[in-house]
Amino acid sequence: MPESTRTAPDLAGAAPGLFDMATPRGRLLRIAARLFGEKGFAGTTVRDIAAGLGIQSGSLFHHFRSKEDILFAVMEMVVEAINRDLAEAVAAAPDTAGRVRALIAVELHYLHGPASDATSVLFHEWRALPKARRSVLMNGRAAYFDLWQTVLAEARAAGLTPIEPEILRQLLHGALAWTSFWYRPGGALTPEALVERALALALKDEGRAS
């Protein structure tokens, strides 16, 4: 019987925002993520962040020593959260095809859901960090892609895709990342439908049947 993806966890619209807006630190990171996304790290000043919070610039240093520390905190939080959410979604999926769907759903949720600003910053601003801090993020990225590799290898072994796991991972990740340039939630194509379209690229028809 074909494996079903219909009971796989649906993350579109799920989970609260990445930052705890009830705390000063969480609000600071949320504002910083938005500004870094809009203006770039280099184009955002400490004064910009403080103005977004309605406080004096010096007050930021009660929480962080520098703008770089703020950037690193935003990125590290994204990496930790997406790794946790992906592991939970994969573990909760009912079958191999559902686990592939979970890979896609989690990544699209981070790209277009409440954490989209911070995720965009992680994708585009990591080179602004010194090498030691980039290494911390790359370790987290490696763990994330290790899980992708494991699931996609399982899918190939089950005959759900003819494509080598390392190649399929690169193709899918590139396609999903590119949606940040053209996809806008709220239009005719729902987040759930976008997940299904991406799943159609990854698996044979029999792997996606209900």
Are 51 and 35 in contact by the 8 Å Cβ rule? The answer is no
Residue whose structure tokens are 């009971």: 7
Burial level of 153, CB count in 10 A (0-12/13-18/19+)? middle
Indicate whether 3 pLDDT > 70. no
Please list, in sequence order, all residues whose beta carbon lies within 8 angstroms of the beta carbon of residue 166, skipping any fewer than 6 positions away: 149
Mean pLDDT of the chain: 88
Question: pLDDT at position 60, please?
Answer: 82
| Model confidence pLDDT, tens digit, residues 73-106 | 999 999 999 999 999 999 999 999 999 999 999 9
Are 36 and 74 in contact by the 8 Å Cβ rule? The answer is yes
Helices 46-53, 24-39: axis angle to 10 degrees equals: 130
| Model confidence pLDDT, tens digit, residues 168-204 | 999 999 999 999 999 998 889 999 999 999 999 999 8
Which amino acid is located at 72 in the chain? F
Indicate whether 37 pLDDT > 50. yes
Helices 165-178, 96-112: axis angle to 10 degrees equals: 30
3-state secondary structure of 10: coil
C-alpha–C-alpha distance, residues 192 and 98, integer Å: 14
- Using 50, 70 and 90 to split pLDDT, how confident is the model at 208? low
Question: pLDDT at position 92, please?
Answer: 97
Are 97 and 3 in contact by the 8 Å Cβ rule? The answer is yes
Question: pLDDT at position 135, please?
Answer: 94
21, 35, 60, 71, 94 from 31: Cα distances, Å: 10, 6, 12, 11, 38
| Model confidence pLDDT, tens digit, residues 103-141 | 999 999 999 998 999 999 998 998 999 999 999 999 999
C-alpha–C-alpha distance, residues 181 and 102, integer Å: 22
Question: pLDDT at position 17, please?
Answer: 63
Q: Count other C-beta atoms under 10 Å from residue 189's C-beta.
A: 13
Q: What CATH number should be reported for the domain whose range is 66-208?
A: 1.10.357.10
Question: pLDDT at position 112, please?
Answer: 93
Indicate whether 207 pLDDT > 60. no
